[in-house]
Amino acid sequence: MNNRWERVSLSQEESERIFRKARSFAGDVWFRFRRKPTALLGLILALLMVLFGLIGPFMTPYNYSQQETKLANIPPLMTVYPGPDDSYFFVTEALKVIEVDPEGHLVRQLRKKEDDAKHKQTSFKYDDDTSVVLDYSIKPYVMLDEYGQRIEQGVRKWNASHLLGTDHLGRDILTRLMYGARISLMVAFIAATVNMLIGILYGGVSGYLGGRTDAIMMRVVDIIATIPLTLYVILIKVCLDDGLISIIVALSSVYWVDMARVVRGQVLSLKNQEFVLAARTIGSSTKNILLRHLIPNAMGPILVTVTMLIPSAIFMEAFMSFIGIGIAPPMASLGTMCNDATEALRTNPYQLFLPAIAICIIMFAFNFIGDGLRDALDPKLKK
């Protein structure tokens, strides 16, 4: 029988070669990051929200402070009554009649023609020959034509003029969501950047010098962490008298304590490593050792901490705006939108749910990104 197997000649170098694609550190991190579905989903959601806040306001015909009280509390999905000439009528909570075209655009508010308080009926003029009557003696109210015949409710139509409806002042909710997302993301990114810089320098110096200096600097951190953030915001707002600037200064002056603790712990674990001892031996200064050796090797936990600080800052900004010590009206903020919608929660719940959903999406997105970065930057999880 012939031997069907033959030994393949293989050199020592080829036998020890690892057959896998060579990747840089950044490429390896990205490879592990995108293999986690939640992290990739969070990145996509975060990019979409950034584009929504930055580009969205340039694509809407409305302004965040533009008011149209005649069109107040118009929902995204309207229940309309059929009218003449293929038109429709929508009745607001204030018992005003709005003409709606077949595509769902709000055309105009019908002018009140006659008000019969005795029979609880109000007549509205459609044109010179046609009018409609709103009978509010019956709950829920009914629409009557000019001959007194009841008009049955038609189909539901999406609000084509205001895709997400209007608030109690007739402002476009979609436009205000765009500006609110922009404000929240801007506050969060500025606060995260400032906190990262302060925390890295403070924590790095504290951890590297150690001893009495480290003890004093950490006690300062403990004192700052024990004072409530709301008190900072109130004091700073009294001094600066501006909602946006005061909230940025407040977040930037307090949130760095967590970053300082993370950097200090990393520096304490790295400063006795061989590469740091070698740098000391050749006479490197403390500045060079911190900035060129210790901080770059601690960037993994630093990036994860910064990513986790962003949703925390967004939630804090929304909370302070909700209780009235954040962004000053009429500037749109997700927190102020939630505050404005609380009074109409039962009648118009969409006004509260929409900004609340936007806050949840942003917070979930950055939490997913932080969780993915933590796993991607952990060398123990490298396969």
Is 14 within the bounds of a domain? no
Number of domains making up the chain: 2
The helix (H) or strand (E) run that includes residue 194 is helix 173-209
Is 103 within the bounds of a domain? yes
Domain end, chosen from 158, 179, 194, is at 158
Is 233 within the bounds of a domain? yes
Residue 281 has pLDDT above 80, yes or no: yes
Query: 6 in helix, strand or coil?
Result: coil
Is 2 within the bounds of a domain? no
Task: Name the most confidently modeled range: 96-100, 139-143, 377-381.
Answer: 96-100
Is 67 within the bounds of a domain? no
- Asked if residue 144 and residue 252 are part of one domain, the reply reads no
Per-residue pLDDT of 287-324, as tens digits, reads: 888 888 888 888 888 888 888 888 888 888 888 888 77
- Asked if residue 126 and residue 214 are part of one domain, the reply reads no
Is 30 within the bounds of a domain? no
- Asked if residue 234 and residue 364 are part of one domain, the reply reads yes
Residue 119 has pLDDT above 90, yes or no: no
Residue 354 is part of a domain; what is its CATH number?
Answer: 1.10.3720.10
Residue type, 93: E
Residue type, 277: L
How far apart are the C-alpha atoms of 380 and 356, rounded to whole Å? 37
**Where does the pLDDT of residue 125 fall: very low under 50, low under 70, confident under 90, or very high at 90 and above?**
confident
- Asked if residue 281 and residue 218 are part of one domain, the reply reads yes
DSSP-H helix ranges across 255-349: 256-270, 274-281, 286-288, 295-297, 299-322, 334-341
Domain end, chosen from 126, 158, 190, is at 158
- Asked if residue 203 and residue 153 are part of one domain, the reply reads no
Tell me the CA distances in angstroms from 299 to 26, 211, 291, 343, 377, one per residue in order. Answer: 12, 24, 11, 46, 9
- Asked if residue 174 and residue 147 are part of one domain, the reply reads no
Rg value, the chain, Cα: 31
* Closest CA relative to residue 284, chosen from 275, 296, 295: 275
Is 131 within the bounds of a domain? yes
Residue 129's domain spans which residues? 77-158
Q: Which range among 122-126, 139-143, 354-358 shows the weakest confidence by mean pLDDT? A: 139-143
- Asked if residue 197 and residue 115 are part of one domain, the reply reads no
Structure pTM? 0.82
Q: How many CA atoms lie within 13 A of 374 on its CB side?
A: 12
- Residue 277 phi/psi, 5-degree rounding, is -65, -40
**Where does the pLDDT of residue 226 fall: very low under 50, low under 70, confident under 90, or very high at 90 and above?**
confident
- Asked if residue 348 and residue 246 are part of one domain, the reply reads yes
- Asked if residue 94 and residue 50 are part of one domain, the reply reads no
Domain end, chosen from 128, 158, 188, is at 158
Please name the residue that has the structure tokens 């007549």. 123
The answer to whether 34 touches 40, Cβ cutoff 8 Å, is yes
Residue 99 has pLDDT above 80, yes or no: yes
- Asked if residue 348 and residue 253 are part of one domain, the reply reads yes
CA torsion 310-312-313-314 (nearest 10°) is 90
Residue type, 1: M
Over range 267-284, report the average pLDDT. Answer: 85
Is 71 within the bounds of a domain? no
- Asked if residue 229 and residue 113 are part of one domain, the reply reads no
Sequence-ordered list of residues with C-beta below 8 angstroms from that of 320, at least 6 positions apart, any chain: 230, 233, 247, 326, 335
Q: Taking all residues of the chain, what is their mean pLDDT, rounded to a whole number?
A: 83
- Asked if residue 178 and residue 131 are part of one domain, the reply reads no
How far apart are the C-alpha atoms of 223 and 40, rounded to whole Å? 38
